[in-house]
């Protein structure tokens, strides 16, 4: 198992006991505990450090905020994001109520700005949307 935040050797040094494949707890068990604690830490902090975290679907309501020149901000679940790429399957879908469908605006860069360092997606042109829920 891949561990990121610490290794079995780090735990062994901290506890001052040897951890090998034949000890109790063994190396695999310690790595499972480390992985569980990494997930718990990421969930509590709300961010992942040093690991790639793939979010497959985020649904947002438009907030009643508007930054002049940028648009309506959507705060993504994580910071330090990769750049958006339609070739890799990334989408930005906007609900079109008249047709009851989602429309992908990924290729139309005049509709959005993306700030990957802070995990913010700004939608332009949606300031006067009457219905903001969903």
Q: Residue 123 burial (CB < 10 Å; 0-12/13-18/19+)? A: buried
Query: pTM of the prediction?
Result: 0.60
Mean pLDDT of the chain: 82
Q: Average pLDDT in the 43-72 region?
A: 77
- φ, ψ dihedrals at 28, nearest 5°: -65, -40
**Cβ partners under 8 Å of residue 82, min gap 6:** 116
- The domain of 112 spans 55-134
- Indicate whether 115 and 92 sit together in one domain: yes
Name residue 70's beta-bridge partners: none
- Indicate whether 40 and 65 sit together in one domain: no
In a domain, 27, yes or no: yes
Give me the pLDDT at residue 4, please: 85
- Indicate whether 126 and 83 sit together in one domain: yes
- Indicate whether 27 and 69 sit together in one domain: no
pLDDT exceeds cutoff 80 at 78: no
- Indicate whether 26 and 59 sit together in one domain: no
- Indicate whether 95 and 114 sit together in one domain: yes
Name residue 114's beta-bridge partners: 121
Tally of CA atoms within 13 A in the half-sphere of 122 that contains its CB: 14
- Indicate whether 82 and 30 sit together in one domain: no
């Amino acid at each position: 198992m891949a561990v990121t935040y610490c290794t079995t050797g780090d735990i062994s040094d901290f506890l001052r006991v040897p951890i090998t494949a034949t000890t109790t707890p063994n190396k695999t068990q310690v790595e499972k505990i480390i992985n569980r604690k990494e997930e718990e830490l990421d969930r509590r902090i709300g961010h992942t450090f040093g690991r790639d975290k793939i979010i497959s679907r985020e649904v947002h309501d438009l907030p009643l905020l508007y930054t002049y020149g940028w648009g309506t901000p959507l705060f993504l679940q994580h910071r330090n994001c990769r750049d958006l790429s339609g070739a890799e399957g990334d989408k930005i879908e906007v609900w079109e109520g008249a047709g009851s469908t989602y429309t992908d605006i990924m290729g139309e860069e005049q509709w959005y700005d993306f700030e990957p360092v802070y995990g913010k997606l700004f939608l332009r042109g949606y300031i006067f949307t009457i219905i903001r829920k969903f």
